[in-house]
Amino acid sequence: MQSQHSHFKRLLNPQTQQITLPTEYPDYSKVEYWNARYTEERGITYDWYLPWKKTSGAQVGMRDIIVPRLYDDKESEILVLGCGNSELSAKLYAEEGFHYITNADYSRVIIEEMKERNAHMEEMDYVEMDITEPLDILDSESFTLILDKGCLDCVACSQDNAGKVRQMLDNVHRTLAPGGTYVCVSHGRPEMRLAQIQGTAGYKWTVEVQKVQKRPAGLEVLERVDSEQYYYIYICQKRY
């Protein structure tokens, strides 16, 4: 499994042991970036922001957030946005018994790889889709839980980000069942993200915000690369 700080380690010169700070960052909104990255990192598992389970270096794990909101209903329909090469869905399937999971990503490279990797999990689907486009292929009010670890953040990096963020959240709101929950783990602070998530379109959900301290990096220099010390979990429950 790849280290959670692998993207920082790439900045470390193995000969001088010095960090070279980048002058520019990847455009995380571009499918070309993700296709190239997943081609290079084939076979790797990587989870953005939070691990599956709480560890000594993490205040909270995704399991702590997700499982209580499913009320042990194994028939729950779950949508994972920007699934990438995360192990989250496989853990939900194999360890918790939630099998009706749709994994969505707009990188064909990773969708094909994950289909192959988890082919033995026959009831779990992998679908190539762009969440920033109108999605007629997804039925309205069909998902009990929608999970997003960094997908909204990537969309927010794009040109015309206001329009794309709005379309993404329109899709989420439309496909979330009444009483269902959208869990968005984000780098974005509430003063920025809440206005987007609450929206101007009258989204019928209540929003709870949890603030989680990042895992210790162990290197002082990482604070120069990433000064934000917290992740934010936006828990949106759709009203009946």
pTM across the whole model: 0.86
Percent of the chain scoring above 90 in pLDDT: 72
What is the CB neighbour count within 10 angstroms for residue 150? Answer: 21
Whether 217 has a pLDDT exceeding 60, the answer reads no
- pLDDT of the residue at 159: 80
**Among 204, 84, 75, residue whose Cα is nearest residue 150:** 84
Measured distance CA(40)–CA(43) in Å, rounded: 9
Residue spans of the domains in the chain: they are 6-238
If one compares 14 and 51, the residue with the highest pLDDT of the two is 51
**Domain 6-238 CATH class label:** alpha beta
Give the model's confidence band at 199: pLDDT under 50 very low, under 70 low, under 90 confident, else very high: confident
Q: How confident is the model at residue 218 (pLDDT cuts 50, 70, 90)?
A: very low
| Residues 193, 174: Cα–Cα separation, whole Å | 19
Contact 132, 168 (CB under 8 A): yes
Residue listed under structure tokens 């069909």: 142
Please report the sign of the dihedral spanned by the C-alpha atoms of residue 191, residue 196, residue 201, residue 202: negative
